[in-house]
Amino acid sequence: MRSAMTRLLAILGSLAGLANTINGYRPLSKRGYPSLSAFAFGVFASELPLQLIAGQSALLAALSKWLSPQARRVGWLISAISWLGLLGLNHSGRTADRPLAEALDAELGPNRRTDGDDLWQRPDAAVEHIARAPGVVRTLLAYRDYATDSDIPYGEYGGRNTLDVWRHRDLPRDGRAPVLLQVPGGAWMVGSKRGQAHPLMAHLVERGWVCVSINYRLSPRSTWPDHIIDVKRALAWTKAHIADYGGDPDWVAITGGSAGGHLCALTALTAGDPRFQPGFAGADTSVRAAVPFYGIYDFTGETALHPLQAPTMSAYVFKQSRRRFPDTYRDASPMTYISADAPPFFVLHGRNDSLVPVEQGRTFSARLRDVSTNPVVYAEMPLAQHAFDIFGSARAAHTATAVEQFLAEIYARRSDPEY
């Protein structure tokens, strides 16, 4: 009985691995609750395929001694097919620099900058080398290595109004380094300033940037627009105090993923809007550039939404029906605020996103490009899931490099009279 059960589990495990590989190429669902599983398993297949091969092969090898020769052959054959597919996903991640470069070239031109070495001061310890190679371990250690000042209060709501400052320990405190503000995601209901965008922030800190990662109030305890108010307040704090940490308050960009991508885009498009700045309407909340990842830009229903999105927002975030209170949803949509004077944008989205339809990124960037007088770069990542930049994967490393190149180009243009 035990031998038969082991054979069954081995074959089912191999089939499950193959299904997961297929899901990495084409999500098995983008609707309802199954899409959550499609995302959870798909992001590992697309971003950590070699680790999956190692884990699956080790498990199958351990079970093989209890398998019959026929079951062993079937199990290894199915797994081999799966692993070939995972190697294809690995190739896609390792060559992700190509679509990123194409997107940057298309908007900024082939003669754009590819680094900012002469634009800002590189930390002394980093002058002689490029930032350390990416990887899962480095990502896990990034907070320890770069978050020099933690849990700084910027508002009155305790731990939800705190931020961390990331800077290279050799960066002069009296420097004027460019600054990136990172807004975490988590469906406006979960999430923390720790654990997101570490590959990007570590990459920029190694090159001489100062990064600020923030917490903000979350639903259902808090209700919209508390979230955007906190982001704006954190931005105002950054501009008022970042010089004490070696940052340049006159050059602050903003980024974020998922819900953080939405808040990033909305912040960039509503500088000084008093509706989102109660009690600090006079504060400067403009940014030099915005880099939203896989964000939601339209809640009105005009652009495709995940089927669970509207009811979730209605019940827990806005706490208002979209049908009865359409203005609330329109006012929360970055799409509403597209204008000619929008700051430069670099919009990134995964083509296989199971949680936020890729149409959100496509439509937003297209409309913004039609109106804005500033650059709008849109990069759609083949075979990439939601949260593709979380791990220290090859795709995350390429993305961090592309974001640095975009920001370097925008930074260089700040003093160009023809820009």
pLDDT digits (tens, 9 = 90+) for 212-249: 999 999 999 999 999 999 999 999 999 999 999 999 99
Which run of H or E residues covers position 108? helix 97-108
Annotation marks residue 258 as catalytic: yes
Do 168 and 278 fall into the same domain? yes
| Same domain, yes or no: 189 and 275 | yes
Other CB atoms within 10 Å distance of the CB of residue 105: 13
Per-residue b or e along 217-239, where b marks 16 or more CB atoms closer than 10 Å to that residue's CB: bbbeebebbbbbbbbbbbbbbbb
Domain that holds residue 246: 97-413
Residue 147 in tokens: 């978050």
Mark which of 48, 66, 94 sits at the end of a domain. 94
Query: Three-class SS string for 252-305?
Result: EEEEEECHHHHHHHHHHHCCCCHHHCCCCCCCCCCCCCEEEECCCCCCCCCCCC
Q: What pLDDT does 124 receive?
A: 67
Exposure on the CB side of residue 163, measured as CA atoms within 13 A = 26
146 and 53 in a common domain: no
| 341 given a catalytic annotation | no
Distance CA 249, CA 242 (A): 6
CA 216 – CA 181 distance, rounded (Å):
13
Report DSSP state, residue 387.
Answer: T
62 plus 126 within the same structural domain: no
Same domain? 324 vs 265:
yes
Question: What is the C-alpha separation between 359 and 63, in angstroms, rounded?
Answer: 44
Structure confidence at residue 139 (pLDDT): 83
Q: Of the residues 94, 116, 140, which one is the last residue of a structural domain?
A: 94
Q: 23-77, pLDDT tens digit by residue?
A: 999 999 998 889 999 999 999 999 999 999 999 999 888 888 887 888 888 889 9
Residues 290 and 169 in one domain: yes
User: How confident is the prediction for the chain on average, in pLDDT?
Assistant: 92
Residue listed under structure tokens 């975009």: 406
> Which is it for strands 177-183 and 247-257: parallel, antiparallel or unpaired?
parallel
Task: Report yes or no on 155 lying in a domain.
Answer: yes
168 assigned to some structural domain: yes
Same-domain pairing of 181 and 266: yes
Same domain, 310 and 377: yes
SS3 labels along 8-32: HHHHHHHHHHHHHHHHHHCCCCCCC
CA atoms of 102 and 365, how far apart (whole Å): 16
The beta-carbon contacts of 67-76 under 8 Å, at least 24 apart in sequence, are 67/6, 67/7, 67/10, 68/3, 68/7, 71/7, 71/10, 71/11, 74/11, 74/14, 75/10, 75/11, 75/13, 75/14, 76/14
Q: Which of 258, 314, 333, 365 is catalytic?
A: 258
Provide the pLDDT for residue 31. 87
In a domain, 173, yes or no: yes
Backbone phi and psi for residue 36, each to the nearest 5 degrees, phi listed first? -65, -40
Element containing residue 60 per DSSP (H, E)? helix 49-64
List the structure tokens of 95. Answer: 């060559």
Q: Which residue intervals of 131-284 are DSSP H helices? A: 136-146, 198-206, 226-241, 259-269
Within a domain: 140: yes
Given a cut of 50, the residues of the chain with pLDDT beneath it are: 1, 127-131, 417, 419
Amino acid 415: pLDDT: 60
379 Cβ contact partners less than 8 Å away, ≥ 6 residues apart: 99, 100, 103, 104, 346, 347, 348, 349, 402
Same structural domain, 81 and 168 = no
Same domain, residue pair 86 and 103: no
Residues 40 and 170 in one domain: no
Query: At 339, is the secondary structure helix, strand, or coil?
Result: coil
Report the predicted TM-score, pTM, of the whole model to 2 decimal places: 0.95
pLDDT tens column, 312-324: 999 999 999 999 9
Assess if residue 419 is contained within a domain.
no
Task: Please count the structural domains in the chain.
Answer: 2
**Residue where a domain terminates, one of 31, 65, 94:** 94
Can you give the pLDDT at residue 416?
Answer: 63
**136 within domain boundaries:** yes
Of the listed 164, 226, 298, 353, which one is catalytic? Answer: 353
Q: Is 91 a catalytic residue?
A: no
Which one of 198, 203, 349, 386 is the catalytic residue? 386
Q: Are residues 332 and 217 in the same domain?
A: yes
